[in-house]
């Protein structure tokens, strides 16, 4: 490419970036109405637009956009709290929103400023700029983000205290060095969007850089194996946890599992194997690419898995020793609060962070150059649509709006901290 061509290309990108940023501010104002093709039952147009609004303004919208629930006719969308809320938010800064990760070894426990942290999105499934946006935001918010299973890009190391290293079945980019970098190591046994199947990265997105990071072949689809072929029993699982703890004794170990019928047994097994965090990833979780049959049909939704596991861990007398984290279809501040009321300690967020920087939930992440405004792409031109600072600003703003909603809700419920909400199903009502 000549210098002039590069310059012209940059001009075109600048034009589009300017337009997109303006659009993300304009659309939630509803000046042009709700775009007809936007949204679906889970991520409705209102949820998408209100997330854009929160990411721009740091507070929820007050123009009639529904920012709390979708229209999926079940789960979080039919659960509600027994208190009325309105648009006059009670912003009591004395309410504690932090949670403690890893309680069984107090010397290793880690406190994060929010009841949420960022979920694994691999380099390759998303752009480096989006990964950096998330990491910057995590540092600013005193929480964490995760590498996903695509390796640990060098620029991310600046944020190492806020970056979870994921060890998944493909073992892409996993080395002793990256394991030793992390405050938390996440053993990914399964993913909610494709339970029992392992990761997918289709050929178009496996560029030279991605292939190098994953030590694979350019433009060849990568299907991670399933399961870990070193783990066929809970005893093998314990060896895995021990292996991680030997390499990095200071790190907390998180075990990410999907939600099978015997999820309570899986959770207790992980506890006895030494896990500090049990991370349940429910059936309706996000993904860069997954078979349609798996997304819809395999494993149970997170709304059911949380109380089943929480109650079982309580009955076994170990609930307070382990941190229970939920993910998979958690879209809003209210979903997080409901998940905690059902029994989780906190949640992992993925898609909502992508929506904050302009994802439309269109589902084109798997194909060709990926999503065309720089989130789920490996295309250098499209990646340039997001700058880490701009992306981080939007993610931080979205969480500021969530904080406002959590504080308001907890104040109305008469609670002083988000930890007090855990397992309080008596505060919920099921509108079915």
Q: Show contacts with another protein in window 366-385 (CB under 8 A).
A: 366-369, 371-373, 376, 382
Q: Please provide residue 207's backbone torsions phi and psi, each rounded to the nearest 5 degrees.
A: -75, 175
Q: How far is the CB of 94 from another protein (least distance, A)?
A: 29
Length of the chain equals 432
Residues of span 99-158 touching another protein by CB under 8 A: none
- Decide whether 183 or 192 has the Cβ nearer to another protein: 192
Question: How is residue 197 annotated by DSSP?
Answer: T
- Decide whether 112 or 202 has the Cβ nearer to another protein: 202
Look up residue 33 and give its two tokens. Answer: 């109405």
* Region binding another protein by CB under 8 A among candidate stretches 86-94, 145-153, 354-362, 388-396: 354-362
Helices (H), 27-154: 45-57, 128-141
Q: Which residues pair with 96 in a beta bridge?
A: 417
Residues of span 249-278 touching another protein by CB under 8 A: 257-258, 260-261, 266
Residues of span 308-337 touching another protein by CB under 8 A: 308, 328-329
Q: How far is the CB of 389 from another protein (least distance, A)?
A: 20
Please, are residues 310 and 319 in contact by the beta-carbon 8 Å criterion?
A: yes
Q: How far is the CB of 361 from another protein (least distance, A)?
A: 6
Q: How far is the CB of 266 from another protein (least distance, A)?
A: 6
Q: Reply yes or no: is the peptide bond before residue 227 cis, omega within 30 of 0.
A: yes
Instruction: Quote the CA–CA distance of 414 and 277 in Å, as a whole number.
Output: 28
Please, are residues 89 and 405 in contact by the beta-carbon 8 Å criterion?
A: yes
* Region binding another protein by CB under 8 A among candidate stretches 141-149, 173-181, 241-249, 362-370: 362-370
Helix (H) or strand (E) holding 168: strand 163-168
Counting other chains too, the contacts that 18-21 makes at CB distance below 8 Å and 24 or more residues apart are 20/358, 20/373, 20/385, 21/390
3 state DSSP class of 370 = coil
Look up residue 103 and give its two tokens. Answer: 């309680």
Instruction: Quote the CA–CA distance of 35 and 92 in Å, as a whole number.
Output: 36
- Decide whether 27 or 174 has the Cβ nearer to another protein: 27
- Decide whether 177 or 262 has the Cβ nearer to another protein: 262
Helix (H) or strand (E) holding 14: helix 3-26
Q: Is residue 82 within the footprint of another protein (CB under 8 A)? A: yes
Q: How many residues bind another protein (CB under 8 A)?
A: 113
Q: Is 253 left (phi over 0), alpha (psi -120 to 50) or beta?
A: beta
Please, are residues 126 and 104 in contact by the beta-carbon 8 Å criterion?
A: no
Residues of span 230-249 touching another protein by CB under 8 A: 231-234, 236-237
Q: Is residue 339 within the footprint of another protein (CB under 8 A)? A: no
- Decide whether 205 or 407 has the Cβ nearer to another protein: 205
Residues of span 170-189 touching another protein by CB under 8 A: 189
Instruction: Quote the CA–CA distance of 430 and 304 in Å, as a whole number.
Output: 13
Binding mask 31-60 for another protein (x = CB under 8 A): xx--xxxxxxxxx-----------------
Residues of span 284-313 touching another protein by CB under 8 A: 284-301, 303-308
Q: Which of 58, 119, 358, 388 binds another protein (CB under 8 A)?
A: 358
- Decide whether 98 or 364 has the Cβ nearer to another protein: 364
Q: Is residue 77 within the footprint of another protein (CB under 8 A)? A: yes
- Decide whether 181 or 352 has the Cβ nearer to another protein: 352
């Amino acid at each position: 490419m000549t210098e002039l061509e590069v310059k012209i290309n940059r001009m075109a990108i600048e034009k589009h970036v300017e337009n997109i940023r303006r659009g993300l501010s304009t659309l939630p104002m509803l000046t042009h109405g709700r775009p007809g093709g936007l949204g679906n039952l889970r991520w409705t147009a209102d949820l998408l637009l209100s997330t854009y609004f929160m990411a721009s303004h740091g507070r929820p919208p007050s123009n009639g956009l529904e920012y709390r629930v979708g229209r999926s006719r079940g789960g979080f969308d039919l659960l509600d709290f027994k208190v009325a809320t309105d648009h006059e938010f009670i912003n009591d800064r004395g309410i504690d929103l932090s949670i403690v990760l890893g309680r069984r070894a107090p010397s290793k426990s880690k406190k994060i400023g929010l009841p949420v942290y960022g979920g694994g999105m691999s380099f390759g499934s998303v752009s480096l700029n989006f990964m950096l946006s998330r990491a910057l935001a995590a540092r600013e918010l005193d929480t964490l983000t995760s590498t996903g299973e695509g390796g640990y890009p060098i620029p991310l190391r600046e944020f190492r205290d806020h970056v979870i290293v994921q060890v998944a079945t493909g073992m892409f980019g996993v080395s002793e060095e990256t394991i030793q970098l992390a405050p938390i190591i996440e053993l990914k046994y399964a993913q909610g969007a494709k339970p029992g199947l392992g990761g997918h990265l289709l050929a178009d997105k496996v560029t030279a850089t991605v292939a190098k990071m994953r030590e694979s072949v350019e433009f060849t689809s990568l299907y991670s194996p399933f399961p870990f072929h070193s783990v066929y029993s809970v005893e093998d699982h314990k060896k895995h946890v021990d292996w991680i703890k030997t390499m990095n004794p200071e790190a907390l170990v998180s075990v990410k599992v999907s939600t099978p019928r015997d999820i309570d047994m899986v959770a207790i097994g992980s506890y006895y194997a030494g896990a500090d965090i049990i991370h349940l990833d429910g059936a309706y979780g996000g993904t860069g690419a997954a078979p349609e049959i798996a997304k819809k049909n395999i494993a149970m939704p997170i709304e059911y898995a949380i109380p089943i596991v929480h109650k079982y861990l309580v009955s076994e007398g170990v609930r307070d020793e382990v941190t229970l984290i939920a993910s998979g279809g958690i879209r809003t501040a209210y979903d997080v609060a409901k998940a905690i009321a059902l029994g989780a300690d906190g949640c992992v967020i993925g898609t909502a962070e992508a929506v904050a920087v302009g994802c439309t939930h269109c589902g084109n992440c798997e194909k060709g150059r990926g999503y065309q405004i720089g989130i789920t792409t490996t295309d250098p031109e499209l990646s340039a649509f997001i700058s880490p600072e701009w992306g981080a600003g939007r993610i931080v703003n979205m969480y500021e709006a969530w904080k406002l909603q959590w504080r308001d809700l907890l104040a109305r419920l008469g609670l002083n901290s988000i930890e007090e909400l855990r397992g309080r199903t008596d505060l919920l009502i099921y509108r079915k």
